[in-house]
Structure 1
Amino acid sequence: MTYPCEIPPLEIGGLVARLPIVQGGMGVGISLSGLASAVARAGGVGVISAALVGFFEGEAEFFKNPTEANIRGLKRQIAEARRKAPEGILGVNIMVALTDYEPLVKAACEAGADVIFSGAGLPLNLPELRPEGAPTRLVPIVSSARAAKLVTQRWWSRYGLVPDALVVEGPKAGGHLGFEIEKLESEDSRLEKQIPEVIKVIRPFEEKAGRSIPVIAAGGIYTGRDIYRYLHQLGAAGVQMGTRFVATQECDASPAFKEAFLRARREDLTIIKSPVGLPGRALKGPFLQAVEAGEKRPYKCMYHCLRTCDYQKSPYCIAAALINAQRGNLEAGFVFAGANAWRVDRIVSVKELLDELLEEYCAAREEASQSPSTFSTTGARKRPSEVTS
C-alpha cells in the first residue's frame, strides 16, 4: 500500500504494523473477524473482542456450556481473521473482569493471536496466563500513569518482563470507562495530560529492560490531525480508535447499530452507571430511557459473564442488552459510543476510512513542516530501535 506521506510504523514487541493505528476491541460482537481482518489487511492492528464471543456459536451451544462456547468461538474468530489476513497483525481484547478471563487468554495464545489487549481491571497476572513459549505479545489497557506504573512494576518484579506496549485510554472513550463519574471532566483526566505522564513513569522500566514500551493513545481520537498531534506533539507511538471503525462496512455489528451513529447528535451521548460498577458512555435510546424510568428489572442472570456484576441489584442484564443492540434490536438494548460518535455522517469501507485519516495526517504534517511552531514536538520519544540497554 502506498501512503501519501511517510507515517511512522507501530512496533509492538518486534511486530511492526505499517500504520500506527490499533482498531479498538469492541464488544459484544462489534469487532469480530470481519472488522479485525479488514484492518489487519490494510496495515493496522485488527482486534477481536472476546466478550461473550461464544454467543455467536449459537444460543443453544452457549447456554449448554458458556465457557466452552466462548473458547471455541474465540478460536474460530481468530482462525477466520487469520485466513482473511494471513500477513496482518491480529489482536484480541480480553477484559480482566470477564468470568472466564484466564481460559480465554490461554485460548487466544493457543489460536495464534499476535497481541492480547487487556483492561477493565488491572491485568497484574497476565504474563503467567500466557502458555510457555507462546509468542503472543501482552498489552495492558490503563487510564492513568499510576495504573501504568503499578502494572509495569508488578510485571518487572514478579516476571522480569515489561509490557510490549501500553494503551492509555482517556475519558472520551466509548463503553466502560476507568474513571469515577465525577472525574470524567477533570483536567487531570484528559488524555493529553495522561500520555506524557505515562511516558515519564515507564521510562525507568524501559531503561532496566533495555527496550521501549510504546504508548498507544486511546479515547476521543477521531481525525488524522488527531493522530499527528498524539504522535508528534505528545510522544505516543500509536493510537487506538473505536468509534470510527464502527462506521465501516466491515464492522460486525448490524446495520441498525451503525445507523444509530449516523442519527446521533451531541446531546444524545450520555454517561450511564453500568451493572458492572463502572461508568460507561452510550447513546440515549428507548432502552436506557426505560431504565432511567425504573421500568427495567432482569428476570434472571443470562450468564455470570462479569465478575463484578450483581444481577440481583442491577436494573438490567448488560450482556443481553449489548447482544440485542449488536443484532439491531435497540428497543431491548443500547449502543456504547465514544464522545465523538455524533460526528459520524456516513458508512465507509475500512480502506476509505484509513485513506481519509492518512490524508488528514499528511496535511497536518505538511502544515507543521511549513510552520513548526504550530505543532510543537515537545515530548517526542525515541523509536523502539533507538532505545538501547
Structure 2
Amino acid sequence: MKIPSLKIDNLIAKVPVVQGGMGVGISLSSLAGAVAKNGGIGVLSGVEIGFDEPDYFSNKKEANIRALKKHIRKAKALSNGGIIGINLMTVLNDFEELVKESIKEKIDIIFSGAGLPINLPKFTKGSNTKIAPIVSSSKAAKIICKKWDKKYNVIPDAIVVEGPDAGGHLGFKKENLQDQDFSLINIIKDVLETIKPFEEKYNKPIPIIAGGGIDNGKDIGDILMAGASGVQIGTRFIATDECDASDKFKENLLQCKSEDIVIINSPVGMIGRAISNDFLDAVSSNTKRPIGCISNCLKPCIPTQAPYCIAEALINAQKGYMENGFAFAGAKAYKVDKIIPVKTLMDNLMTETKSYLDNKY
C-alpha cells in the first residue's frame, strides 16, 4: 500500500509527517530544514526564538523578531524547496508581532495552539500562508471553525489534534489523561464529525494531523486508518543529528526510563509532560522560590507566584544545563535509544508504516 501524501490546500508533503514545534530552541532551522528536505513539514518553534541572540536579555522583542527571520530563511535554504512551518502559541505576549513577521517572511504554514487562535485569519488574509489551529477536543475545533467562518469567511487549512500522550503543555485535566474517552483515536473521530459541515459549506477538505505519543509505524498506521491525513511527531525528532538542542539535552532523553516520564504543574497554570530530574524534584518539594522573570514571555504567567521561570529553565535545558532546567517529552520518550539522522528516522518510520498497513489490508 502506498502511503498517501499530506495535502494542505496547495501544499503537498510527500511524507505525511509534521515535525512538532518544540521550544525553547529544540526545533529551529537545522531540524525543520532537514525534515522539510526529506519530504515532511519542518516546524520552527517561535517560543523565545531569540534566546541565543547577544542582546536577548536587553532587547528581547527585537532579538526574537531578528532570530525568527533568520531561522525561517535558514530553514527554507536547507529545505530544498520543502515546506516550512512555525508554531506560535496564542499565549505568547508577542504573538501578533511574530505572526506578522512570519507572514512577511512567507512562512508556508502557521500552527497555533495553547489557547484559541480566534484572530489568526485577520493577519493571514491576502497571503499564501496557511493556518492550522492546534486543539485537544472537538469542542475547540468547533469553536474555531464557527468563529473563523462567521468573522472571516474562512476555515482552517488543517487542524492539528494533540492527544493526552503528547509532550509539553497538555490541553487536558490530569484525571482525563488515562480515560479512554479522551484517547487520540476517539478525539480524531469526534473532530472529523465536527468539521464535516464546514468542509461541505466551503467545498474544501480540512486535513487532520494527529499527534501525541506517536513512536513507530504502527502508531502512524493506526492514526491514518482512523481518518487523519497526517501525523505530528515531536519527541523522536529530538534524537536526531540535526536537532537544534545540545548533546546533553539529547542524552537526557536517551537515558530516561518509563518511570522518569512525569506530569508536572507548569508555572503558567497548565499540566505538562516532562522528564523528571533534580530540578523538577526541587520544584515539587517547594525548595524552589520565585526568582523573577527573565523574558515576560507568556500571558498567563504571574512571575511573583511562579516557583521558577519556565523560559529560563527551558533555555538552560536547551544548552545542556540540566541542573537548572528540564526537558518536555512525550509519553513514549523512554523508547528512544539512539541518535540518528533525520533522513534515517523518516525512512524507518515510513518503512514501518507501509509494512503495517500492507499487513492490515
Query: TM (normalized to structure 1)?
Result: 0.91
The CA deviation at 1:202 is 0.3
Q: Quick one: which of 118, 121, 132 aligns to 2:115?
A: 121
Q: Specify the alignment match of 2:315 in structure 1.
A: 323
RMSD between superposed Cα atoms in Å: 0.9
Q: Is the 2:131–2:158 contact (alpha carbons within 8 Å) kept by the matching residues of 1?
A: yes
Q: Specify the alignment match of 2:58 in structure 1.
A: 64
Q: Specify the alignment match of 1:48 in structure 2.
A: 44
Matched, 1:245 2:241: no
Give the letter aligned to residue 138 of structure 2: A
Runs of 5+ in structure 1 lacking a partner?
A: 370-389
How many matched pairs?
A: 361
Q: Quick one: which of 161, 167, 179 aligns to 1:174?
A: 167
The CA deviation at 1:299 is 2.1
Runs of 5+ in structure 2 lacking a partner?
A: none
Q: Quick one: which of 119, 122, 137 aligns to 1:144?
A: 137
The CA deviation at 1:363 is 1.0
Q: Specify the alignment match of 2:346 in structure 1.
A: 354
Mapped to 2, the partners of 1:281 and 1:230 lie a distance apart of 21
Q: Is the 2:46–2:86 contact (alpha carbons within 8 Å) kept by the matching residues of 1?
A: yes
Give the letter aligned to residue 240 of structure 1: Q
The CA deviation at 1:84 is 1.1
Give the letter aligned to residue 37 of structure 2: R
Mapped to 1, the partners of 2:45 and 2:167 lie a distance apart of 14
Q: Specify the alignment match of 1:33 in structure 2.
A: 29
1:1-389 paired onto structure 2 within 5 Å:
6-58=2-54, 61-130=55-124, 132-232=125-225, 234-369=226-361
Mapped to 2, the partners of 1:253 and 1:45 lie a distance apart of 19
Q: Is the 2:290–2:305 contact (alpha carbons within 8 Å) kept by the matching residues of 1?
A: no
Q: Residues 134-189 of structure 1: CA distance to partner in whole angstroms, max 9, x if unpaired? A: 21000000000000000011000110000000000001000000011122222221
Give the letter aligned to residue 24 of structure 1: G
Q: Is the 2:313–2:324 contact (alpha carbons within 8 Å) kept by the matching residues of 1?
A: yes
The CA deviation at 1:79 is 0.4
Mapped to 1, the partners of 2:60 and 2:115 lie a distance apart of 22
The CA deviation at 1:31 is 0.1
Q: Is the 2:19–2:35 contact (alpha carbons within 8 Å) kept by the matching residues of 1?
A: yes
Mapped to 2, the partners of 1:276 and 1:13 lie a distance apart of 34
Mapped to 1, the partners of 2:350 and 2:57 lie a distance apart of 44
Mapped to 1, the partners of 2:152 and 2:302 lie a distance apart of 33
Give the letter aligned to residue 53 of structure 2: E
The CA deviation at 1:300 is 1.6
Mapped to 2, the partners of 1:206 and 1:26 lie a distance apart of 30
Segments of 4+ moved more than 4 angstroms = none
The CA deviation at 1:63 is 2.0
The DSSP-based 3-state class of the residue aligned with 1:106 is helix
The CA deviation at 1:103 is 0.2
The CA deviation at 1:311 is 1.1
Q: Residues 120-146 of structure 1: CA distance to partner in whole angstroms, max 9, x if unpaired? A: 11101111122x422100000000000
Q: Residues 206-262 of structure 1: CA distance to partner in whole angstroms, max 9, x if unpaired? A: 000110000111101111111111112x00000000011011110000011111111
The CA deviation at 1:368 is 1.5
Mapped to 2, the partners of 1:221 and 1:84 lie a distance apart of 26
Q: Specify the alignment match of 1:380 in structure 2.
A: none
The DSSP-based 3-state class of the residue aligned with 1:294 is coil
Q: Is the 2:291–2:307 contact (alpha carbons within 8 Å) kept by the matching residues of 1?
A: no
Mapped to 2, the partners of 1:241 and 1:264 lie a distance apart of 18
Q: Is the 2:6–2:16 contact (alpha carbons within 8 Å) kept by the matching residues of 1?
A: yes
The DSSP-based 3-state class of the residue aligned with 1:140 is strand
Give the letter aligned to residue 19 of structure 1: V
Q: Residues 296-331 of structure 1: CA distance to partner in whole angstroms, max 9, x if unpaired? A: 113221121000001111110000000000000000
Mapped to 2, the partners of 1:267 and 1:185 lie a distance apart of 16
The DSSP-based 3-state class of the residue aligned with 1:313 is coil
The DSSP-based 3-state class of the residue aligned with 2:12 is strand
Give the letter aligned to residue 57 of structure 1: E
Mapped to 2, the partners of 1:57 and 1:79 lie a distance apart of 16
The DSSP-based 3-state class of the residue aligned with 2:262 is strand
The DSSP-based 3-state class of the residue aligned with 1:239 is strand
The CA deviation at 1:86 is 3.5
The DSSP-based 3-state class of the residue aligned with 2:128 is coil
